Amino acid sequence: MKQLKQTEQIKFSRIYALGAARGDLAVTNDEIAGPIDSSDEWIRQRTGIITRKRASADRSLMDMAIEASNEAIGKAGIDASEIGAVILATISFPYQTPSGASLLAESVGAHGAAAYDISAACAGYCYGIAQADSLVRSGVAKYVLVVGGEKLSDFVEPTDRSISFLLGDGAGAAIVGPSDHPGISKTVWGSDGSNWDKVGMTGSLIDFRDGKTSWPTLVQEGQSVFRWAVWEMAKVAKEALAAAGLEPEDLSALVTHQANTRIIDELAKQLNIPESVVVARDIVDTGNTSAASIPLAMHRLLAEGQVKSGGYALEIGFGAGLAYAAQVVELP
Amino acid sequence: MALSSQDVLAGLAELVNDETGIAADAVQMEKSFTDDLDIDSISMMTIVVNAEDKFGVKIPDEKVKDLITVADAVNFITENQA
């Protein structure tokens, strides 16, 4: 009997480069405060957001995903034809099927690459990095394009006080490939379906079709989510750091999902993050962009020279599901 | 030994002070967390989690919204402390 052939394991992987694209409109708190009977000061105090980037009607999720991907591919110095898989993490691509990833693959020159979308909301990008790490190290794909992309402004309700006013649009892209040294630590991930309804939509598309609900928009139970996002995610982040064999002082950056600065600050406090570690706060003028928020925030830290290539960043995504994932990555 | 209501009030006032800077002696039984002390939902949850640690009591999410006044919180903690 012939012996089955299996791929040769590649020992390590890393992120080669990042790309970023944001909505073209800077929407101020004053512009959205009226329908929620609020004010610029109230929104700043409770969320830390000053403006959020939203995309105009003619700038689609795919436009932003392509822009971010092309930047990442160019900076990685690879040929797009070498990309073996394209993963798009999103909750706002407006088609149930086909996937956005297959169109993205074709659009960026990754012709024929395996392509699929994943739905893990604000944890989606970190889920994608976990999968890319595995695909590269198992030899299934040489390079993987991971994109977190959202046009959440299509799913906001101006009068909603729970989440809509936080949300922005953008896409962040990463190229993951083989490495001669460790560049992505073991992912700590999971979900808590017992809290399935804590972040989600106001109704299903079937309910909308049947006239039982208006256009489904995003909604959350903010107080419960805050408790989970800080105290439960602190445990996950500590576990991810331990799996990476690092202490907080070994990090260059903490890049959490950009949900709310109060969550970011309290999470950093619970993790005893020292002052030497840069804490990403891209949310201040980008808003909460769900799956896009971590790569956008990390891209910005690098672009502004706040961190250097080669340093370590703890990234942790958490949100609807409830789903979460954390890993330490070497900054590209 | 279980803490008295007065002990719980004093401990809770400290937690409120830590989180919000509100003077501990302003945290009185009849005060409303939202209307009188102007504590928002996120600060309230931080106080709740810290109170759980301090008093060895579990305060479920669905209970938090029933804690309108300081007395509501003091009574719940006093009755449910470990």
Chain B residues close to A224, C-beta within 8 Å? 61
Asked if residue A276 lies in contact with residue A307, where contact means CB atoms within 8 angstroms, the answer is: no
Q: Does A252 lie in the same domain as A169?
A: no
Chain B residues close to A222, C-beta within 8 Å? 41-42
Contact A221 B44 (CB under 8 A): no
Specify the pairing of strand A312-319 against strand A323-330. Answer: antiparallel
A125/A290 Cα distance (integer angstroms): 9
Q: What is the pLDDT of residues A64-91, one digit of tens each?
A: 999 999 999 999 999 999 999 999 999 9
Which candidate, A242, A227, A257, places its Cα nearest to that of A325?
A: A257
b (16+ CB within 10 A) / e for A121-135: bbbbbbbbbbbbbbb
Contact A223 B41 (CB under 8 A): yes
Residue A36 lies in a domain: yes
pLDDT at res. B41: 87
When divided into structural domains, chain B yields a total of 1
b (16+ CB within 10 A) / e for A75-100: bbebebeebbbbbbbbbbbeeeeebb
pLDDT at res. B3: 86
Q: Does A72 lie in the same domain as A220?
A: no
Q: Does A94 lie in the same domain as A66?
A: yes
Q: Does A263 lie in the same domain as A281?
A: yes
Q: Count Cβ–Cβ pairs < 8 Å, chain A vs chain B.
A: 26
pLDDT at res. A135: 97
Q: What is the pLDDT of residues A143-163, one digit of tens each?
A: 999 999 999 999 999 999 999
Residue A74 lies in a domain: yes
- The three-point CA angle A62-A141-A173 to 5° equals 30
Residue A67 lies in a domain: yes
Q: What is the pLDDT of residues A271-316, one digit of tens each?
A: 999 999 999 999 999 999 999 999 999 999 999 999 999 999 999 9
A218/A156 Cα distance (integer angstroms): 6
> Which one of A179, A198, A214 terminates a domain?
A179
Whether A126 is a known active-site residue: answer: no
Evaluate if pTM is beyond 0.90: yes
pLDDT at res. A219: 96
Contact A223 B40 (CB under 8 A): no
Q: Select the highest-mean-pLDDT range: A187-191, B30-34, B54-58.
A: A187-191
Rounded to an integer, the average pLDDT of B26-47 is 92
Q: Does A161 lie in the same domain as A27?
A: yes
Q: How many angstroms separate the CA of residue A266 from the nearest CA in chain B?
A: 9
Contact A226 B61 (CB under 8 A): no
Contact A223 B44 (CB under 8 A): yes
Q: Does A157 lie in the same domain as A53?
A: yes
Question: Rounded to the nearest 5°, which phi and psi values hold at A72?
Answer: -65, -45
Nearest to B64 among A223, A230, A266 (CB): A223
Question: Would you call A39 an interface residue with chain B, using a CB distance cutoff of 8 Å?
Answer: no
Q: Does A173 lie in the same domain as A208?
A: no
Residue A3 lies in a domain: no
Residues 6+ apart with CB under 8 A from A31: none
* Average pLDDT taken over every residue of chain B: 91
Which candidate, A21, A20, A25, places its Cα nearest to that of A52?
A: A25
Strand partners, B47: none
Q: Does A237 lie in the same domain as A207?
A: yes
CATH number, domain with residue A249:
3.40.47.10
Six token digits for residue A258: 């950009």
Interface test with A, best of B19, B45, B47 (most A CBs within 10 A): B45
Residue A7 lies in a domain: no
Q: Interface pTM (ipTM) of the complex? A: 0.86
- The three-point CA angle A111-A87-A114 to 5° equals 40
Q: Does A19 lie in the same domain as A159?
A: yes
pLDDT at res. A331: 98
pLDDT at res. B1: 63
Contact A223 B61 (CB under 8 A): yes
- Does pLDDT of B82 surpass 90? no
- Does pLDDT of A131 surpass 80? yes
A290/A283 Cα distance (integer angstroms): 11
Contact A46 B46 (CB under 8 A): no
Asked if residue B12 lies in contact with residue B72, where contact means CB atoms within 8 angstroms, the answer is: no
Active site residue: A29, A126, A260, A288, which one? Answer: A288
> Which one of A153, A179, A205 terminates a domain?
A179
CATH number, domain with residue B14:
1.10.1200.10
When divided into structural domains, chain A yields a total of 2
CA-nearest residue of chain B to A224?
B61
- Does pLDDT of A93 surpass 90? yes
- Does pLDDT of B81 surpass 90? no
Question: Would you call A41 an interface residue with chain B, using a CB distance cutoff of 8 Å?
Answer: no
A 277-306: CB under 8 A from B: none
CA-nearest residue of chain B to A227?
B45
Give the range of the structural domain holding residue B49, as residue numbers without chain letter.
Answer: 5-80
Chain B residues close to A223, C-beta within 8 Å? 41-42, 44-45, 61, 64-65
Q: Does A258 lie in the same domain as A159?
A: no
Q: Does A137 lie in the same domain as A45?
A: yes
End-to-end CA separation in angstroms for chain B: 9
Q: What is the pLDDT of residues A161-198, one digit of tens each?
A: 999 999 999 999 999 999 999 999 999 999 999 999 99
Q: What is the pLDDT of residues A209-239, one digit of tens each?
A: 999 999 999 999 988 999 999 999 999 999 9
Contact A227 B42 (CB under 8 A): no
Give the range of the structural domain holding residue A289, as residue numbers without chain letter.
Answer: 188-330
What band does A8 get if pLDDT is binned at 50, 70 and 90?
confident
Whether A122 is a known active-site residue: answer: yes
* Average pLDDT taken over every residue of chain A: 96
Active site residue: A29, A257, A260, A299, which one? Answer: A257
Q: Does A167 lie in the same domain as A66?
A: yes
Question: Would you call A222 an interface residue with chain B, using a CB distance cutoff of 8 Å?
Answer: yes
Question: Would you call A227 an interface residue with chain B, using a CB distance cutoff of 8 Å?
Answer: yes
A322: preceding bond cis by omega (within 30 degrees): yes
